[in-house]
Structure 1
Amino acid sequence: MQYLEGRKYVVQGIFLAIALLYMTRLFFMQVLDGTYKLAADRNTLQRLVQIPYRGLIYDRKNQLLVQNTPVYDIMVVPREVKQLDSLALCELLQIPLENLRASLVAAKKYSRTKPSPVLQNLTTPDLAAIQDRLSDFSGFYPRTRMARAYRTPNMAHALGYVGAITPAFLEKPKYAKYQPGENIGISGLEAFYESTLMGRRGVQYKMVNVRGIEKGAFRGGEFDTLSVAGQDLHLSVDSELQAYGEKLLAGRRGSIVALDPKTGEVLAFVSAPHYNPNLLTGKGSGNRYMALLNDPNQPLFDRPIMATYPPGSVFKLVNELVALQLGVVTPNTSFECNWKLVRCTHRHEPPVNVNIAIKQSCNPYFYQVMQAAVLRKQSPNKYEDARIGLGQWQKMVKSFGLGERLGVDMAQEKRGLIPSPEYYDKRKGYHKWRYRTVYSLSIGQGEIGITGLQMANLMATIANRGWYYTPHFVRGIGNGGPLPQFRVKHYTAVDTTLFKYIIPGMRDVVDGRGGTAEFASLAQYGIAVAGKTGTVQNPHGEDHATFAAFAPAEDPKIAIAVFIENAGFGGISAAPAAGLMIEKYLRGKVAPHRKRWEDWVMFGDFTKRRH
């Protein structure tokens, strides 16, 4: 019996060993990192990662902006390289010997058994010219993938671009599924929506001969998985308006941001100078990128979300609303235009109410408005009183989406700055500063800084009488809508009933007699524009110009902010640019007799004309 019992265990052990061997073999075939050596003959099987089609990108009117086009990369598997004739391969690929050597070093460092790129972005004719001879070099073979092709020369800063994933990215767990040579979104929407656009990879196991020629699927494809294409993005950007804005600012430095105030959707996003997004695709894109990077005009700099400026007189609207909320002024409060407090922009009628003060952009008036908001006798110590009041002021101002990232669907958005009491404590010392130290904030100057996107959003907030949706570019993903965070209303700390008191003054800025933005008027077409000009002091040269507005004033469909660097007074440069953009969007065209304003914005010498 003991003999039979022992024999039973021997038989069971044999079956167990066979089962373990089979399972090990199956596991080896499915997941082992060999990816190319899954059969007994280590040169007969390839594991091919199937890169899915990247999602397409469409504009507001469903016009295709970004598509995919086939390109070819020459890959190398270091372990398969035998007796390499480096000079002959360099001659075939038309690359320097040092480039080949660097590629081989990088490939070996990454993996001896996984493919790495040697030469990328070849066209079909490029590949056809070398494919036959390439088979003479063991370990080197072509790989097909889809690259980005842009059907528009505009919108480069919003769309962003894709590029080959770097070794630094590959080391991060987040990008574990990527392989050397694959593309990844580097900036703009391509980067923000990378996980949406990339889709899901598939895997195919192919039988190949020693020359790398496919001989069919391994075991009928039973271990293969299908790739899933990325989802398409449907943007809110109006391509015609975008192109027109880029045309207006060609040759300038600055930005234009236009929003639909009712939805927070971005209608136009102009960063000047701009560049053609196709420059960063295809063969030689690396060299073209370096040329853009080294351009002294900084065309790669995304001004609407990265450049921060003092807002100038546009900020007076915020200070008025804060003071109204605190109850320290009323719409009929009168302050003297006292130049001893701060110099005014020009001589004008007495600012006996807020409408006239906004229309004439009276600096002394808004000096006293903010003074009333900050110094409210909350402490007998004048320094502490200013400190307490400024802290409360800052909190209310930041509720307008200023001094913080709005959360737009783009990376690299800057916060800007709404200075706090702690900020001045650090710079001046605790109880070493008072209102006179910070009064420049009352007219949007000094330490304050906001982005073009934030200013456009401020206009959307005023247009909505106190609330906004977070600005966003993508109104639809696949067959769905935008991301959930873009459907949440944000309210300011100012009661919605108070916004109506600043609208008449804003309308007078544009259409009132003696207003500072008459060049933005569209009254001849029955369109009321509400806006505010600004001149931003610049210690390094000519002042910057700004103008922010929304229209139609009674039922806003567009909110816009224009910054033009070194353009002087906002009323003669930024205002006409905004007026043209509003006309283009609301009427679908710019009247022929207003073409002269196009020439002025594009080619005029703003520094030789003063209001």
Structure 2
Amino acid sequence: MAIAANSRELVLKIIFVMVAIVILSRLFFLQLFEDKYKVMANDIAILRKVVYPPRGVIYDRKGRVMLNNQVVYDLVVTPVETRKNFDTARLCEALDIDVPAFEKLMKRAVNKGGWVRQTVFLEELSPAQAARFQENIFLFNGFQMVERNIRSYPNPNAAVVLGYIGEVSPAMLRKDRFRSYNQGDYVGIDGLEQQYEEVLRGQRGIYFVEKDNFNRPRDSYKGGMLDTPAQGGRSIELYLDAELQAYGEKLMGNKLGSIVAIDPETGGILAMVSSPSYDPNLLTGKERSKNFGKLFMDATKPLFNRAMKGSYNPGSTQKPLTALVALDEHVITPAYGYPCSGGYYACGKRIGCTHSGGGHAANLRLALANSCNSYFCHIYRLSVDKREFGNVKNGLHKFYQHMYDFGLGHPLGVDLPHETGGTLFDTKDYDKMYNGSWNSCTNVFIGMGQGEIASTPLQMANSMCIIANHGYYYTPHFVKSVAKNPRDPILAPYLKKHEVTHIADSAFAIVGLGMMDVVNKGTGTVARLPDVEVCAKTGTVENKAIVNGQVMKLQNHSMFVAFAPRVHPKIAIAVCVENSGYGATWAGPIASLMIEKYLFDTVASNRKSLEERMFNAQLIPRYTYVIDSARRLRDRLIWERKVQQKRFADSIRHYQDSLMIHQWIKKNLM
């Protein structure tokens, strides 16, 4: 037993001795060989300089710069180093500020980063401030100028596409995604800046510089052996055409709505306009916070990307898709006609049609050209009531699957953040809505693009790609190449072809011919172009809003979808002009001008008057501001009610806690 005890004691002694040797060895190594800790210990003599690299440049399809960098200098401070012998008056003189302003800025820096962490004191020094500070830098212990790149937009276009950057917030730093960021770093907040953050950001550099006894930077410490070089971000090239984008924004001036134009062959987005827009330069520089507040409060919502977040009933632009389903389910042939006399009455109520003369829906092509509501309501019912499905619930589910394949009811996966997926009801949704008791007349409006169906303009444009390509599409996307590499792994999802294999090529062909008839002799003749077979569909969408519990009937939305040419298509497009009337009045001309501009790089002289009418139209209705004010008032009242409820709950909780404490004191101490 004594031998065993002695053995354990010896083992423990050996362990303690080994631990002591390891610790002493490490300390010895740190003292003599570890330069990194020497630098930290000699912080007064060695300057640790952080260099933020330029973010990647963004180019359009023709190599034109859309987003670049501009060098600015921030003044940063380590507050703890300013406590002794600091000449506040001299710094105030150099920066042209007064002492109260200095104290306010210092307090903000301390609150933001504490006393020992380097924090931004003053952003974007003017050239005069930078020069005066540099001349007297030896007087200002704890202060340092840091070079930074801010984003610069050569042209005031594509704001909601390009996005903007902002400083990383404390809340962001607590998330895993931002583990490699530090306070003071900048990050993409929206648009392509956010989506391609890892590509664009680069890698910040750390440099160690010796300082002389006047606190002035001198030479690189140890010849730069300890430095970490900054690496600039990688640049990206877009499918976006900067000139077409600017033209679209001009056409949509003083209007609410959007344009989406896509190259059907690649899925590359040629233009994405959301109107009203704003100058992206407003969200750079010192005034960005103030400008953001103004844009955020604007009733027309310029920060909201209507092209991929706005959700609208597609109206008659849905009819080509309804026709494709009916053809695929073999409930009609291209020769099928319907005897419409101005309305659809088969469901016990009148659904009006814009045509009343006989023969305007004698076959599918005529029905598309004349946009006959009765025809498409009826073939929708034929599709979901098909006998082989057994019942309408199975039939509607099949219709839902068709629409889902066309890209409706779910986000497409565009390379921008926060895309929405619209509305598409399946059988279970109607069962819930009507307690299981409904039929094809309940949702007959879906066949003509009204009722419980809503799409984003991006989805509408993508559906045109499917028809143009006779059954396939590529996920719509902006980025063509990363650092001139079109096969970069980050682009892999956008190179995959999505095929709608169950629909025959002949069905797409006949629908395409019907859409060509829309332009040649139907409701969309405004989009006719010489020597180009334009295929299109007009849409006039009912528009209602609920304000203070009341349903307001507003002016219709103008919709237009198209692709051109019919054979070997180069462009597919969707245009929405809110609160403006018929599809052929506003959305149609804008779409045709965009197609003409893209295909021919100019607009014919005989269409200049049409172009001027689009440029000069003022279509933002006054009730936009009234509705927005009412909604803001409602949101304010809801917020105040929640605050009052929270205060009441807190008071009750405080009373209950006090009562429990009183009872405990009474029981245990009295």
SS in 1 for 2:486: coil
- Structure 1 residues 542-588: Cα deviation after superposition (integer angstroms, max 9, x where no partner): 01010000111122101110000011100111101111111111111
Change (3 A) 1:152 1:349: farther
**How far apart are residue 38 of structure 1 and its match?**
2.7
Letter paired with 1:67? N
Aligned to 1:3: none
SS in 2 for 1:121: coil
Q: Map of 1:27-66 to 2, 5 A cutoff?
A: 29-30=35-36, 38-66=39-67
Contact 1:141–1:212 (8 Å) recurs in 2 = no
SS in 1 for 2:352: coil
2:477, 2:19 → 1: CA distance? 64
Letter paired with 2:163? G
**How far apart are residue 340 of structure 1 and its match?**
1.7
Structure 2 unaligned runs (5+)? 1-14, 546-553, 622-670
Q: Does 1:296 align with 2:299?
A: yes
Contact 2:389–2:395 (8 Å) recurs in 1 = no
Contact 2:137–2:216 (8 Å) recurs in 1 = no
Identify which of 369, 375, 380 aligns with 2:379.
369
Identify which of 490, 493, 502 aligns with 2:498.
490
2:170, 2:53 → 1: CA distance? 21
Identify which of 429, 432, 435 aligns with 1:426.
432
Aligned to 1:5: none
Contact 1:314–1:534 (8 Å) recurs in 2 = yes
Q: Which moved more, 1:572-581 or 1:336-345?
A: 336-345
Letter paired with 1:222? M
Q: Map of 1:533-572 to 2, 5 A cutoff?
A: 533-540=538-545, 541-572=554-585
Q: Map of 1:97-112 to 2, 5 A cutoff?
A: 97-108=103-114, 112=115
1:530, 1:70 → 2: CA distance? 48
1:432, 1:479 → 2: CA distance? 57
Contact 1:78–1:107 (8 Å) recurs in 2 = no
Normalization by structure 2: what TM-score?
0.82
Aligned to 2:208: 205
Q: Map of 1:523-542 to 2, 5 A cutoff?
A: 525-540=530-545, 541-542=554-555
Identify which of 570, 584, 600 aligns with 2:597.
584
Letter paired with 1:546? M
**How far apart are residue 424 of structure 1 and its match?**
1.9
RMSD, aligned α-carbons: 2.7
Change (3 A) 1:583 1:45: same
- Structure 1 residues 518-565: Cα deviation after superposition (integer angstroms, max 9, x where no partner): 11110xx21110000001110141010100001111221011100000
Letter paired with 1:506? M
1:137, 1:558 → 2: CA distance? 60
2:618, 2:21 → 1: CA distance? 90
Q: Which moved more, 1:340-349 or 1:551-560?
A: 340-349
Aligned to 1:518: 525
Change (3 A) 1:314 1:79: same
- The percentage of counterpart residues that share the same residue type is 38
**How far apart are residue 294 of structure 1 and its match?**
1.3
SS in 1 for 2:338: coil
1:315, 1:502 → 2: CA distance? 12
SS in 2 for 1:237: coil
Identify which of 238, 246, 261 aligns with 2:264.
261
Letter paired with 2:339? E
2:20, 2:561 → 1: CA distance? 83
Letter paired with 2:384? V
**How far apart are residue 213 of structure 1 and its match?**
2.4
Q: Which moved more, 1:289-298 or 1:244-253?
A: 289-298
Q: Does 1:70 align with 2:71?
A: yes
2:90, 2:111 → 1: CA distance? 18
Q: Which moved more, 1:485-494 or 1:597-606?
A: 597-606
**How far apart are residue 65 of structure 1 and its match?**
1.6
**How far apart are residue 426 of structure 1 and its match?**
2.6
1:607, 1:410 → 2: CA distance? 27
Aligned to 2:290: 287
Aligned to 1:446: 451
- Structure 1 residues 316-348: Cα deviation after superposition (integer angstroms, max 9, x where no partner): 111111111111111111222253242112324
1:240, 1:318 → 2: CA distance? 32
**How far apart are residue 133 of structure 1 and its match?**
5.5
Letter paired with 1:402? L
1:606, 1:220 → 2: CA distance? 65
**How far apart are residue 53 of structure 1 and its match?**
2.1
Change (3 A) 1:88 1:591: same
Contact 2:539–2:560 (8 Å) recurs in 1 = yes
- Structure 1 residues 157-216: Cα deviation after superposition (integer angstroms, max 9, x where no partner): 111111112111122222222222222111111110100011223322222357642232
Letter paired with 1:54? R
Q: Which moved more, 1:443-452 or 1:20-29?
A: 20-29
1:353, 1:427 → 2: CA distance? 35
Letter paired with 1:503? G
Q: Does 1:416 align with 2:422?
A: yes
**How far apart are residue 593 of structure 1 and its match?**
2.1
2:558, 2:233 → 1: CA distance? 42
**How far apart are residue 397 of structure 1 and its match?**
0.7
Identify which of 306, 309, 318 aligns with 1:306.
309
Change (3 A) 1:283 1:82: same
Letter paired with 2:516? R
Report which of the two structures shows the higher radius of gyration computed on alpha carbons.
Answer: 2
Letter paired with 1:285? R
**How far apart are residue 21 of structure 1 and its match?**
2.2
Q: Does 1:455 align with 2:460?
A: yes
Identify which of 195, 199, 221 aligns with 2:198.
195
Identify which of 399, 406, 412 aligns with 1:406.
412
Contact 2:255–2:275 (8 Å) recurs in 1 = yes
SS in 2 for 1:426: helix
Letter paired with 2:593? L
**How far apart are residue 349 of structure 1 and its match?**
4.2
**How far apart are residue 298 of structure 1 and its match?**
1.0
Q: Map of 1:243-254 to 2, 5 A cutoff?
A: 243-254=246-257
Aligned to 1:218: 221
SS in 1 for 2:344: coil
**How far apart are residue 134 of structure 1 and its match?**
6.2
1:196, 1:27 → 2: CA distance? 37
Aligned to 2:362: 352
2:369, 2:400 → 1: CA distance? 25
Structure 1 unaligned runs (5+)? 1-8
- Structure 1 residues 385-441: Cα deviation after superposition (integer angstroms, max 9, x where no partner): 222211111011110111111111100111111111222223222x12222221111
- Structure 1 residues 130-160: Cα deviation after superposition (integer angstroms, max 9, x where no partner): 4445654432222111111111111111111
**How far apart are residue 295 of structure 1 and its match?**
1.3
**How far apart are residue 28 of structure 1 and its match?**
6.4
Contact 1:86–1:97 (8 Å) recurs in 2 = no
**How far apart are residue 42 of structure 1 and its match?**
4.0
Letter paired with 2:268? E
Task: Report the number of matched residues.
Answer: 583
Q: Does 1:141 align with 2:159?
A: no
Normalization by structure 1: what TM-score?
0.90
**How far apart are residue 245 of structure 1 and its match?**
0.5
SS in 1 for 2:353: coil
1:388, 1:210 → 2: CA distance? 84
SS in 1 for 2:424: coil
